[in-house]
Structure 1
Amino acid sequence: MTVPQRRRLLPLFTKDVRHANRSSMTCRFRCGNACDHPVPNESDNEYFGDIVNEAVASRRGVLRAGAVGAIAIGAGVAGVAGATPAMAAEGAEGFEPLLAQGASYGKHDGVLAFRAIPPNTLDKVIVPNGYDSAVVIEWGDKVTADAPEFDIDDQSAWAQRRQFGYNNDFVGVLPYGRDRDRAILVANHEYTNEILMFRSYLGGDAAPLEQIEIAMAAHGLSVVALRRIDETGQWRADSRNRRGNRRIHVGTKFEFTGPAVGSALLKTAADSRGRNPYGTLNNCAGGVTPWGTVLSGEENFNQYFTGGDGVPAADKPALARYGIDTTKHHAADNRRFDRVEARFDLTKHPHEANRFGWIVEVDPYDPHSTPKKHTALGRFKHEGANAILADDGRAVVYMGDDERFDYMYKFVSDRRFKPGDSRKARENNLRLLESGTLYVAKLEYTSAGEIDGSGRLPSDGQFNGTGRWIPIVRGSESLVPGMTVDQVLVHTRLAGDAVGATKMDRPEDVQPNPATGKIYAALTNNTDRGKPGKPGADEANPRNLNKHGQIFEITEDNGNQASETFTWDVPIVCGDPADPATFFAGFDKTKVSPISCPDNVAFDASGKNLWISTDGNALGTNDGLFAVPLTGPERGFVRQFLSVPFGAETCGPFVHDDNKTVFVAVQHPGEVTGATLDNPASTWPNGDYAKPGVVCSWRLDGRDVGR
């Protein structure tokens, strides 16, 4: 198909070279200009790894709660009075109680036959010939039954707590009983961009408190009933059925679970027991579990806090490792949540930041349930979490820490999954993530001496090697010398540093394939790789100044998800196929679509194809959704299926379990430096100003997507 190029809006809509592939506006609001700050990981992993791995292998040097070594972080003080949480989440009566049934993975032929769309810069969603797309729900749409109609000039925090939030990232779609024409959507609301939300936004000390409160309310998650349209692959928010809908936001009460519950590191003046944090922030990706819940990752939480200069000295190293500036009170462009709630001022409440950065679990079938933050899964900048069941029934969760030179993790539960919809099974499964073994990945290479940073393949024709999952916590026992169990779980990055984990190029989504058990990670990019004083290329991260990213594939030994050893390879090295530094599993590069900055991955019902969404396309065109076969003669044949509007990021994706619909989240459309609400760079989806939203795509003839 021929796609005309989008008109140029204004000369000022260009990317800032300091911020690699994104506009400087996105960097400001999404991650607090992380690229302008030093890389938090300054560890020399190999040195620590030689010492600690020997100790782990011999089961010596393991410390329980008690002694604190040189790398440990002091508990500090519990804070002072004044941190009053906002109101709890609003909910209603609940959905029909039948639980998730799961997708029929492996029961579709998985043949991809669509013609790839060309790269473009249009301000619309583009899909292949024979397909259509439509908005499912967008910012400001009603979620709860008492929500008012959205009015851009008459917003309120009360309304936003009942309306669909801003900047939707993760999308999960779960069954609604056995009714194939109904479903439940769970979407994350990662961050807000107040410049595109309010007219004449001033920010900082000058912003009206109501604007700050609205922005706070626009974070979190939405749980929304969906209905299929006319027996097609199109879905829409079900306006007739909102009784189970729910908004979760910065004022929602949560429950900590796991070994770190009650730790001094989690206690505040408002929660002296360290058991009930309030709110969730910067929720990026996530996953739908085999037991019918949703996992959500808290990512760039550091940017919401002020007062890092005033915390106790013992707390500063850990805060700095998580990207919190401990040298000044706040950045000039900070959102200043502390003006509304004092708990966001770390000088007053030094442990409040420790209550963010977790994996959140939400039960979408019970709007009255208390969401959980699972300490057993560790605390870092979680892109997301995705679960699969091991052969023995234990839950295995894979996670990435989305930071330059940070790590990949795995959690294996102690409890075993119980099948069925009985109350006893449900209660057991809702506790699967409360106790287990937390691991971090350490890689070995087959052709280490041949990697020169150019992306050139080694002589064996592939980037591959072996790896180990290094345990850092088992149950309530720390396996990191010098750190107690709660220190490992609250300051997990420091534990990964100590045991010599492998530094990766921004590991974001890490997804197990339900059909094959192989694991796929999106390594988005790392333009610091190979810079002076920074780690250079290795076989898993084969390019210096890596601006396009790669896909990383793990095969657990003996097909056992609970194994502590694995093999790995890099099937796709992204970028312009004409660039010799790219690789597409050996497939003919003249036939593949250009792809840059993989962010999230998903599988269709065949389990044979990987769907890849991108964030920050460094090739000069809009981000998109791509599909690639994982096996057979077309392994590596990347084709672009969809593109999102100008300035947007493609999030999700989620292929419905009947294989008739692909859902994506269109995040931050028109988020281009210089844009405002009154002078937008995008007018998607309604022609007036940019609004984030969830989109579905389907074949017009009703056949499986991808065909």
Structure 2
Amino acid sequence: MSETTARKFPLLPMLGHTKGKRSAVTCALKCDNACASEVCNTSENGYFRDIASATLSRRAALGFGAAGALAVVLGSAVTSAESASAAGLSAAAKEGFAKSKLQFTPIAAVDASVDAVTVPDGFTWQPVIRWGDPIFADAPAFDIANQTAAAQEKQFGYNNDYTDILEIPGSKGRRAVLFANHEYTNETIMFPATMPAGQVRAVGAAAHGLSVVELERKNKNKPWSYVKGAGLNRRFLNSTAYELTGPVAGSPLVRTVQDPAGRTIKGTLGNCSGGTTPWGTILSGEENFNGYFVAKGTSAADKRYGLGANPTARQWELDDPRWDTRNPGYENEANRFGWIVEVDPFDPTSTPKKHSSLGRFKHEGANVIVAKSGHVVAYSGDDERFDYLYKFVSAGKYIEGDRKHNMTLLSEGNLYVAKFTGNSPAAEITGVGNVPADGAFDGIGQWLPLVVDGASAVPGMSVEEVLVYTRLAADKVGPTKMDRCEDVEPSLLTGKVYVACTNNSNRGVGANEAATEMNPRNQNRDGHIVEITETGDQTSTTFSWNLLMVCGDPAQGDVTYFSGFPVDKVSPISCPDNLAFDSVGNLWISTDGAPSGIGKADGLFKVTVAGKDRGKVEQFLAVPRDGETCGPIIHDDERTVFVSVQHPGEDGSFGAQVSFFPDYVAEGTTPAPGAVRAPRPAVIQVFRG
């Protein structure tokens, strides 16, 4: 069989089983058909059942001494000494979460078949950078019909997810760096069917990884443009070396024939969301790495991490033996992925790091806040059905202005996993989302230790084992199984922590665990948002919690909850994914799944989290056909919003594309003769104009 004819589209076991506008192609290429596979977490630990005991009421656990407010200055970060108020609100938040310079009229939900970016009246949008845009001085122009690996290595990658824009110090707001993850590829719409399969694999691999690109603008009232050939521009590829830090560095569990020392890892995979540290570095989460490996699939670790013996969708194992862990010398290669990556976007010669102290699982991302004590705390969710929420607390303390020191803080510390307890009788949790008799989904929780003061807190497992096989370690201590914890974002104004639980279609199905107060719906199609208040500062081992919202579309008969805000006055929202905050504390949510499964486009939503309008949801934008909204950045002081548009036109093919985002042809005109057009994932900016 020739290399050309050997290329086949991956099997689509989710075809006909996805909800709303979710594509079965996305399921195959992004998460290796996770929802069509057996649930990875078959551990016996269940939820700590909802109870009505007054001794476990939320009031018994409340401690409103929230963490010190953290003021992030683009390009250089500082920590404010001002603590949040006794009510958990900063002075800015007290003025009203709805009082922002970014005022808009919410848009109506947009049909999923619409191939357009929809923004509020008075706003416009344009790309900042697209897949294939050349970022180095010697990079060739994008030529979709003739892409090569050498060209792609010098161009912006595919399917940008987490994104941030950091101002370059001293530039007076006119220069910045943009960072973006490139989560996965869809070779079927990227390349012509006649391209040799080996070339497809090589170019697709080069389109993964990370990018750093310089931006410029005339002034703060003008949109950004990227700068080709700028000094800070950088691509992170499968050949890029990453330093492994923390207790696992050098462990036999991560050594391979290519890296017998177990300290240097090539490449990063499945990079989804992330976070920006107070010292101006970027954190990137390695999420669906399992889909890139062939393994025996028989060990407890393989099963728990979703590793199997079938050929992968992209078949990189045909070109490099490290992608098949059955090959002698590469048994540990998969253990080298599933970490939090740290990148310095201001030093193109720096070596990126993978931090083993934060544990190994399907990290959606990691977000950092400095506790009142000075310790750095990072929250991270494991994006898998029935998996867990984690917290890392640094051993060292943040020192304002000492960037070199602060860049070591994620290398050593304590790791915890969350256990939630509801305060309502189990009989009141009906599985359809009805609010308990006390008027709220709420309760208390504990951070269960996994690693403390350099020692394992898990019986029978060493520190190295806990950090490499974090899922197995967590199973042993009995945390709460959640509905796909994706982005976890602490508010730097209030210290409260918000967890996006995207969905879980398997809850309450068969032998799988049924609804409880913290995950109150069976076959949870639409997801929910958890709000956590730490007892004391962010280093506390106890907390209280409530649900900010139980998502869906009331107009379609869904049982929803928006913290008491009238359900008929909210924008329908489903499958919350990435989270962000504006300058006055409003929560912004990007979605990965059409609102309420009724065939509407994904979008970006603003949510008021306190005051009389708490729970009010307003849709700001919608993305094009088949697209997902990722990486929101809210610069409300400049009346500007940025999002990454991922996998537009996912259900098309090279010869029959279904989206042409973002390079639409003006109405009344036609493409140039012979022009080859295809969707190009891109970072876009939305601004008044």
Normalised by the size of structure 2, how large is the TM-score? 0.87
> SS in structure 2 opposite 1:568?
strand
Task: Decide which of 663, 669, 674 is 2:648's aligned counterpart.
Answer: 669
Aligned counterpart, 2:9? none
CA contact (8 A) 1:401 1:508 kept: yes
Aligned amino acid, residue 272 of structure 1:
P
CA–CA separation in structure 1 for the residues paired with 2:46 and 2:602 = 36
CA displacement at 1:209 relative to structure 2: 1.4
Aligned counterpart, 1:387? 368
Matches within 5 A, 1:313-462: 316-325=299-308, 328=309, 330-331=310-311, 334-348=313-327, 349-420=330-401, 425-449=402-426, 450-462=428-440
CA–CA separation in structure 2 for the residues paired with 1:233 and 1:551 = 34
CA displacement at 1:200 relative to structure 2: 1.3
CA displacement at 1:307 relative to structure 2: 3.8
CA contact (8 A) 1:604 1:659 kept: no
CA contact (8 A) 1:387 1:512 kept: yes
CA displacement at 1:238 relative to structure 2: 2.4
Aligned amino acid, residue 302 of structure 1:
N
Aligned counterpart, 1:24? 24
Q: Residues 657 and 260 of structure 1: is their aligned pair in 2 closer, same or farther, counting only changes over 3 Å?
A: farther
Of 38-47 and 678-687, deviating more is 38-47
Task: Decide which of 255, 261, 277 is 2:265's aligned counterpart.
Answer: 277
CA displacement at 1:161 relative to structure 2: 1.1
CA–CA separation in structure 1 for the residues paired with 2:239 and 2:197 = 19
Aligned counterpart, 1:211? 200
Of 146-155 and 521-530, deviating more is 146-155
CA displacement at 1:392 relative to structure 2: 1.5
Q: Residues 106 and 100 of structure 1: is their aligned pair in 2 closer, same or farther, counting only changes over 3 Å?
A: farther
Matches within 5 A, 1:5-404: 16-21=15-20, 22-46=22-46, 99-101=75-77, 110-111=98-99, 113-121=103-111, 122-178=114-170, 179-200=172-193, 208-229=197-218, 231-232=220-221, 234-239=223-228, 242-308=230-296, 316-325=299-308, 328=309, 330-331=310-311, 334-348=313-327, 349-404=330-385
Residue deviations 1:482-517 (CA, integer Å, cap 9, x gap):
111001000000011110010000000000001111
CA–CA separation in structure 2 for the residues paired with 1:390 and 1:463 = 27
Query: Are 1:697 and 2:686 matched, yes or no?
Result: yes
Residue deviations 1:249-272 (CA, integer Å, cap 9, x gap):
211100000011111110000111
CA–CA separation in structure 2 for the residues paired with 1:430 and 1:624 = 34
CA contact (8 A) 1:233 1:697 kept: no
Aligned amino acid, residue 272 of structure 2:
C
CA–CA separation in structure 2 for the residues paired with 1:335 and 1:42 = 28
Aligned amino acid, residue 26 of structure 1:
T
CA contact (8 A) 2:496 2:533 kept: yes
CA displacement at 1:273 relative to structure 2: 1.0
Aligned amino acid, residue 291 of structure 2:
Q
CA contact (8 A) 1:306 1:336 kept: no
Aligned counterpart, 1:622? 601
CA contact (8 A) 1:233 1:661 kept: no
Aligned counterpart, 2:65? none
CA displacement at 1:444 relative to structure 2: 0.7
> SS in structure 1 opposite 2:265?
coil
Matches within 5 A, 1:455-534: 455-534=433-512
CA–CA separation in structure 2 for the residues paired with 1:103 and 1:392 = 12
CA contact (8 A) 1:456 1:580 kept: no
CA–CA separation in structure 2 for the residues paired with 1:102 and 1:153 = 47
CA–CA separation in structure 1 for the residues paired with 2:632 and 2:598 = 21
CA displacement at 1:102 relative to structure 2: 6.1
Normalised by the size of structure 1, how large is the TM-score? 0.85
Q: Residues 367 and 540 of structure 1: is their aligned pair in 2 closer, same or farther, counting only changes over 3 Å?
A: same
CA displacement at 1:231 relative to structure 2: 3.7
Aligned amino acid, residue 338 of structure 1:
E
Query: Are 1:683 and 2:660 matched, yes or no?
Result: yes
Q: Alignment length, in residue pairs?
A: 619
CA–CA separation in structure 2 for the residues paired with 1:144 and 1:107 = 42
CA–CA separation in structure 2 for the residues paired with 1:548 and 1:640 = 16
Aligned alpha-carbon RMSD (Å): 2.2
Q: Residues 106 and 683 of structure 1: is their aligned pair in 2 closer, same or farther, counting only changes over 3 Å?
A: farther
CA displacement at 1:660 relative to structure 2: 3.0
CA–CA separation in structure 1 for the residues paired with 2:399 and 2:642 = 29
Task: Decide which of 621, 628, 653 is 1:649's aligned counterpart.
Answer: 628
Q: Residues 47 and 295 of structure 1: is their aligned pair in 2 closer, same or farther, counting only changes over 3 Å?
A: closer
Q: Residues 201 and 116 of structure 1: is their aligned pair in 2 closer, same or farther, counting only changes over 3 Å?
A: farther
CA displacement at 1:658 relative to structure 2: 4.0
CA–CA separation in structure 1 for the residues paired with 2:532 and 2:599 = 31
Aligned amino acid, residue 414 of structure 2:
T
CA contact (8 A) 2:220 2:638 kept: no
Aligned counterpart, 1:565? 542
> SS in structure 2 opposite 1:382?
coil
Residue deviations 1:658-699 (CA, integer Å, cap 9, x gap):
443211000000112xx1022011111113311100011122
Residue deviations 1:139-160 (CA, integer Å, cap 9, x gap):
0011222211110112111111
CA–CA separation in structure 1 for the residues paired with 2:409 and 2:340 = 13
CA–CA separation in structure 1 for the residues paired with 2:341 and 2:644 = 19
CA contact (8 A) 1:448 1:538 kept: no
CA displacement at 1:448 relative to structure 2: 3.8
* Percent identical: 51
Aligned amino acid, residue 640 of structure 2:
T
Residue deviations 1:322-371 (CA, integer Å, cap 9, x gap):
0011xx3x23x621111121110111111100000000000001111110
CA–CA separation in structure 2 for the residues paired with 1:123 and 1:354 = 40
CA contact (8 A) 1:170 1:665 kept: yes
CA–CA separation in structure 2 for the residues paired with 1:159 and 1:680 = 23
CA–CA separation in structure 1 for the residues paired with 2:598 and 2:366 = 28
Gaps of 5+ in 2: 1-11, 50-73, 81-89, 665-676
CA displacement at 1:476 relative to structure 2: 2.4
CA–CA separation in structure 2 for the residues paired with 1:411 and 1:184 = 27
Aligned amino acid, residue 404 of structure 1:
R
Aligned counterpart, 2:69? none
Aligned counterpart, 1:588? 566
Residue deviations 1:213-243 (CA, integer Å, cap 9, x gap):
111111111001112355425222123x611
CA–CA separation in structure 2 for the residues paired with 1:38 and 1:233 = 50
CA displacement at 1:17 relative to structure 2: 2.9
CA–CA separation in structure 2 for the residues paired with 1:198 and 1:378 = 36
> SS in structure 1 opposite 2:176?
strand
CA displacement at 1:99 relative to structure 2: 4.6
> SS in structure 1 opposite 2:26?
helix
Of 121-130 and 283-292, deviating more is 121-130
CA–CA separation in structure 2 for the residues paired with 1:361 and 1:522 = 22
CA displacement at 1:577 relative to structure 2: 2.3
